[in-house]
Chain A
Amino acid sequence: MGATFDYWKLTKTVLFYALVLVIVVVSVFPFYYAILTSLKSGTDLFRVTYWPTSISFDNFRQVFSQGAFPRNLLNSVFVASVTVILALFLAVTASFALSRVRFRGRGLLLMTILAVSMFPQIAVLAGLFEVIRFLGIYNTPWALIFAYTIFTLPFTVWVLTTFMRDLPVEIEEAAIVDGATPWVIITQVFMPLMWPALVTTGLLAFIAAWNEFLFALTFTVSNETRTVPVAIALLSGGSQYEIPWGIIMAASVVVTVPLVALVLVFQRKIVSGLTAGGVKG
């Protein structure tokens, strides 16, 4: 009896770790393969290998030397950073009001914000195009910063509101007794406590803005104003048989490595932020 029980336990353990291995390999392999491909050159590219055979940085050199890719990278960094700063700036005060002050219509307002965050982007595309042309920012990074507010702002407000709601009442009461105005409470009392939440929401909003495609495709039209996702999507050769896969993979690796590094460093914070905001990157 004892022996068979142990066999059963062993089988279970082996199966469990096999499952774990499958999950890890399936998750990581495509990225590993992209790196592998980006390090190949010439005809090596068209021989399927599972391990690196030779290493060449030709593709990376080409990505940075030809075309507007460095410019696209700068555009992406600029657009995503400004979008996040703007969203956080507007969201901090708004979420204070939404989480700490009881007023008529608060539930309705929160519901509206949640609804906006679930908007299909396509539903506002035509109207946004009109506004952006009216403002004269079509085909500039500002068009994207403007448009991205539609998803970064509701998300940051929503997450920061949930976070602020959980801050203890006592801290605020003490500040009120000392005669602090709401503005002072936000800047002097809450802000120091909110850094972790601000970093998490800022990071998630940054990733969302960095990855956005539909608006970037529609509101920018020249090589110099595009962001990286559009640049990578539109990288192509003369025909479908000349797609420069090596260069595409090198560009993909360049834009993904910083993200993966950030995500792994801030793992715990991101997981808690994701589950609080229920957002998809």
Chain B
Amino acid sequence: MATDAMAPVGTAATPKIRSELMLQRVRAARWFLVPMMIALAIVAGWPLTRSIWFSFTDATLNDLYGAEWVGFGNYLRWQVLESGTVRYRGVLADPDWWNAVWNTVRFAFWSVLWETVLGMIVALVLNAEFRGRGIVRAAILIPWAIPTIVSARMWGWMLNDQFGIINDLGMKLGLLSAPVAWTASADTAMTAVLIVDIWKTTPFMALLILAGLQMIPKDIYEAADIDGVHPVKQFFRITLPLVRPALMVAIIFRVLDALRIFDLIYVLTPNSRSTKTMSVLAQENLFQFNNFAEGSTQSTLLFLLIAIFTILYIWIGKVNFEGGDR
């Protein structure tokens, strides 16, 4: 990708008039790009730089400008006590932080795994030709269209321990022996979050996979049918390898999204230690508990983690950065 950017402009020998025109276009392009680049610098570049900078200072919410440089102190600092024992402080020595990291990773792994499997099933169904396909596609767009906060509250009500329909249904069908306090109990809170996230995001996954499935030429399957290849074998030998690029992009996209989850957890299971993720912990430290520097440190660490995944995405996805011919 980077080499594309370095490619010489106009490799072939171009007539003088043509290159004059080219120059004019490039000049115009520069001006067209300036407003967007300024906007991105103000809303993204500068705030990111400042957030990272805050993580190396002792800034507080009320005193951003009087902050002093403390180096890596917010990340890890230690103190040798008189007895000779070393005491570690800072985010990297904070059990709450590692709990949040573990929750985030656990959430990302299970949600993306389920969304991929279920998304693949839904995509295969939608790729088949049958009556009422339009209705199914419309129906699966509904979870996607519902705002996350609204779905958190809707499911919060459905998962309510006393009046929730899920407990009612589970008891009637004999799946549950007693009502479960889904969102309140530490054992089930993560399951509740996963259920809602999988419900909401599987459609997105299904649509991305479906786009990949529709690129596969139909005659491959016809040939396989003639050769008598079993449908299951067809899936593993033809569908899966051919849909893999689309699938990888979708998975990495979802992982990036799952790693930064905030809203669903904040609303569905407030103040639950068993679901608190990195984003939630950082936001609370920044704006609710007045640990501004610590919150900045945590958000910077999350940024680093996601940056690694983004690089992975661009690398694996082999995103095409080349434009038209001009």
Residues of A within 8 A of B (CB): 16-17, 19-20, 23-24, 26-28, 30-31, 33-34, 37, 45-46, 48, 50, 90-91, 93-94, 96-116, 118-131, 133, 146-147, 149-150, 153-154, 157, 161, 165, 169, 172, 176, 181-183, 207, 210-211, 213-214, 217-218, 228-230, 232-233, 245, 248-249, 252, 255-256, 259-260, 262-264, 267, 270-271, 274-275, 278, 280-281
Contacts and interface: CB of A to CB of B under 8 A. Distances in A.
Interface string B29-46: 110110111011011101
Contact of B6 (A104, A176, A183, A256): A104
A100 B306 contact: no
Interface residues of B, number: 111
B43 A147 contact: yes
Given A30-B155, A127-B47, A280-B253, A23 B140 contact: yes
12 contacts: A23-B139, A23-B140, A37-B157, A101-B29, A103-B26, A121-B260, A131-B43, A169-B325, A210-B147, A213-B148, A249-B157, A264-B141
Contact of A107 (B2, B140, B163, B253): B2
Contact of B204 (A100, A165, A274): A274
B256 A118 contact: yes
A106 B147 contact: no
Contacts of A125: 47, 51, 282-283, 286, 299
Contact of B163 (A27, A45, A133): A45
Contact of B157 (A28, A176, A245): A245
B324 A126 contact: no
Contacts of B157: 33-34, 37, 245, 248-249
A122 to B, nearest CB: 5
Interface of B: 1-2, 4-6, 9-10, 21, 24-26, 28-30, 32-33, 35-37, 39-40, 42-44, 46-51, 54, 64, 121-122, 125, 128, 130, 132, 135-155, 157-158, 160, 162-165, 168, 199, 201, 203-204, 207-208, 211, 249-250, 253-254, 256-257, 259-260, 262-263, 266-267, 278-279, 282-283, 286-287, 292, 295-296, 299-300, 302-303, 306-307, 310, 313-314, 319, 321-326
A218 to B, nearest CB: 6
Nearest to B307: A115
Nearest to A230: B149
A50 B153 CA distance: 19
Contacts of B40: 112-113, 116, 150, 153-154
A131 B47 contact: yes
Given A100-B323, A218-B286, A256-B146, 7 more contacts: A48-B168, A101-B28, A123-B302, A124-B43, A146-B43, A153-B40, A252-B150
B154 A252 contact: yes
Contacts of A146: 43
Instruction: Please report whether the interface of chain A is mostly helix, strand, loop or mixed according to DSSP.
Output: helix
A106 B36 contact: no
Contact of A233 (B42, B49, B146, B266): B266
Contact of A119 (B48, B130, B132, B282): B48
B35 A229 contact: no
A97 B9 contact: no
Q: What 5 pairs across the A-B complex have the smallest Cβ distances?
A: A127-B47, A127-B50, A107-B5, A97-B29, A123-B303
Contacts of B49: 127
A233 B306 contact: no
Given A23-B140, A30-B155, A233 B279 contact: no
A275 B208 contact: yes
B208 A110 contact: no
Contact of A94 (B36, B122, B259, B279): B36
Contact of B21 (A150, A176, A267): A176
Contact of B302 (A93, A122, A172, A245): A122
B249 A278 contact: yes
Contacts of B307: 115
